[in-house]
Amino acid sequence: MINTTALVLKTSGWFETVRIGEGIRLEFTSKQKPFTSYTSGTIISSSLTNSTDSMLFLFDSPVNVSVGDWAYVADRLTVTIRNFTVENNRGRGALLEARNIDMQHSTFNRTSAPALFFQPSMFWREGPGARNVTLSNNLYINCNEGISQHKGIITFLPDPVQTNPVIEDIRIESSTFYFGNFSQGLIQGNNVNNVLLTGNYIATNSSQPLITICNSRNMTASNNTVIDTQSKIQEYYVFDETSPCQMNLSSLIDLPPSAFNSSFAPPVNIFQ
């Protein structure tokens, strides 16, 4: 820290110089909550320092930060995905880390990990947490059945897990899910806020809960069809008991059995 508008930023776990252009807005987080922004600033200029892995940045206004905090690019980028197909993939179908995501009319067939994986990560130094996400009219077939399997075909899992939501405003709608023999659940919801699950067709052969919840808020569902070919689901969601997940850190969970008892045909067919 040089002064309130001049900061030296250094890369972590990498040996190249930080390269961030003028006009880019950065958000800052603490060590304790690396995915939760507490202030931001826009870069007006930059210059080299004596170190090969750092640069001096000047900001357009004072930024009240501390030595050792983290910074990431926070401009409102938009990710639009249409007619995207992933088949027989060793690993996840798509890793999504952006603020505005719209994925429609896409197919995920036989991914060994989750079809969709939302993970800001301190291990990989990746982020920020996703926000304002629409997943509509997609088809998921036999996903999350092998290497790197998690608890949901669609998985929200910051690394490390936080005690507060860091992924927000998710809408999963009008999609078709065909579970494989080992798919586990539909959604793994770690540190997520404001999730709506509506108008989906879900075919499973397991009685285990569809949704796993960890330190999340505002999760709701309505008008979904569930076809269970082997048994009857008794509970549609369960709270994750793995530390640091705590039941009292989740709230406003509205996932009643009535939200999964509709009887419409699959909105997206395998052959179309």
Q: Are 104 and 82 in contact (CB under 8 A)?
A: yes
158 and 43 fall within a common domain: no
* Residue 135 structure tokens: 């997943």
Query: Distance (Å, rounded) from C-alpha 156 to C-alpha 38?
Result: 22
For residue 271, pLDDT beyond 80: no
Name the percent of the chain lying above pLDDT 90. 75
Q: What is the pLDDT of residues 27-57, one digit of tens each?
A: 999 999 999 999 999 999 999 888 778 899 9
Domain contains 57:
yes
Q: Are 62 and 84 in contact (CB under 8 A)?
A: no
Number of domains in the chain: 2
Query: Distance (Å, rounded) from C-alpha 176 to C-alpha 272?
Result: 13
Q: What is the pLDDT of residues 208-249, one digit of tens each?
A: 999 999 999 999 999 999 999 777 898 999 999 899 999 999
Q: Are 120 and 159 in contact (CB under 8 A)?
A: yes
119 and 55 fall within a common domain: no
> Each residue of 13-46: b (16+ CB within 10 Å) or e?
eeeebbeeeeeeebbbbeeeebbbbeeebebeeb
**Least confident window among 68-77, 143-152, 161-170, 198-207:** 68-77
- For residue 130, the SS3 value is coil
82 and 69 fall within a common domain: no
* Side-chain-facing half-sphere of 27: CA atoms under 13 Å: 15
For residue 79, pLDDT beyond 90: yes
Domain contains 267:
no
